[in-house]
Structure 1
């Protein structure tokens, strides 16, 4: 079904007019191989190695949020929780965050993924503090175990630019730091969230049984 939708969309593009390359649509159509195109989009839709790092975040987490905005001299500290799970066949990671802000309940939902077409990590965030959705793009550094993302949001103050840095200390702890730039002001650190995996979390990713058996066989063979 998914491949059929892509093929239909591509056929419409090839037959449409008004695009820069539609003048050569007859030539493009002649070289159009439905089987090869289906294979191409199948690969695009298959989660890659970049998606595997999301699996370590699956589970239940405790959070400790330090908010520096609006008064960085007197930050506030609150506790909350977050639940991560993989969705849509392991293609995306969903976060459901529960906490509080300025004494009021706060709920947020985030979706993270890796776009194999743009070769960038992508995400979206929505919460109870607004009616908009923030979209983000980022890159992950495997050597430093750090994700750096950027995003833009619209608010009554105008357009706000965000820079988010996530440092992964281990499979059981990571820190999310957000910086923001409000119109007419320099970039400021707005918040920091320390995530700690809840004790006894049964959702913590484990190696598949097949891998464990193969590892055991390899060990037995060397003994």
Structure 2
């Protein structure tokens, strides 16, 4: 019995098919994604649902007007990120407002990161957050160009009180970093969403 050797074309095809497998075997094993403790994602879940907003605006550190709005917050399926959609209808003093954000825990930056755009801003705002689990307070910091060549520092403090959240947005002075309130919002979770919190 004569043993037939594969022709050059068949041998080349066979060798080409094995090359990717050889490269895969030689490549280093992929790094394991870092394990994030479940409690890191707790404040994200606490914000889910539909919230009615009572808003107080400030000018020169004094209340200058009020409005009402609605914020709808939707968790992504894995619970690691949440989208925020906030609307305030126009009233006699203020035009209609709409804002959209997404935030969660960034495992690369190793901190909470929020990105926000709205009908007031000339640029995307990125906030970096610090969570105090015992007090249930999230403190956000950001720096944004004011359109006049200055980078302005902002602080946002969000206090979680079950079905109520108190959100205070302040600007830090450029010369001295004294906080100046810009907006205070009391969010109340709608009854049908209370089970989410």
**TM-score band w.r.t. shorter chain:** 0.7 to 0.9
Larger radius of gyration: 2
1:53 aligns with 2:43: yes
TM-score, normalisation: structure 2: 0.75
CA distance in 2, matches of 1:184, 1:145: 31
Structure with greater strand share of residues: 2
Following TM superposition, by how much is the alpha carbon of 1:184 offset from its aligned partner in structure 2, in angstroms?
A: 4.4
Q: 1:18 is matched with which residue?
A: none
- Equivalent positions of 1:36-185 (< 5 A) are 37=31, 40-41=32-33, 43=34, 48-69=38-59, 71-87=60-76, 89-100=78-89, 102-157=93-148, 158-170=150-162, 172-184=163-175
Distance 1:92-1:193 versus aligned 2 partners, 3 A rule: same
CA distance in 2, matches of 1:165, 1:66: 15
Distance 1:52-1:144 versus aligned 2 partners, 3 A rule: closer
Following TM superposition, by how much is the alpha carbon of 1:166 offset from its aligned partner in structure 2, in angstroms?
A: 0.6
CA-to-aligned-CA distance 1:140-196 (integer Å, 9 cap, x gap): 1111111111001112242211011111111x1110101102544643111111000
Distance 1:47-1:123 versus aligned 2 partners, 3 A rule: farther
Unaligned runs of 5+ in 1: 1-31, 207-223
CA distance in 1, matches of 2:41, 2:181: 28
Distance 1:100-1:72 versus aligned 2 partners, 3 A rule: farther
1:189 aligns with 2:185: no
8 Å Cα contact 2:129-2:139 kept in structure 1: yes
Runs of 4+ in 1 over 6 A off after TM superposition: none
Which gives a bigger RCO, structure 1 or 2 (Cα 8 Å, sep 6+)?
Answer: 2
Structure with greater helix share of residues: 1
The 3-state SS of whatever aligns with 1:189 is strand
Aligned match for 2:28, one of 27, 33, 47: 33
Aligned-residue Cα RMSD (Å) equals 2.5
Unaligned runs of 5+ in 2: 1-26
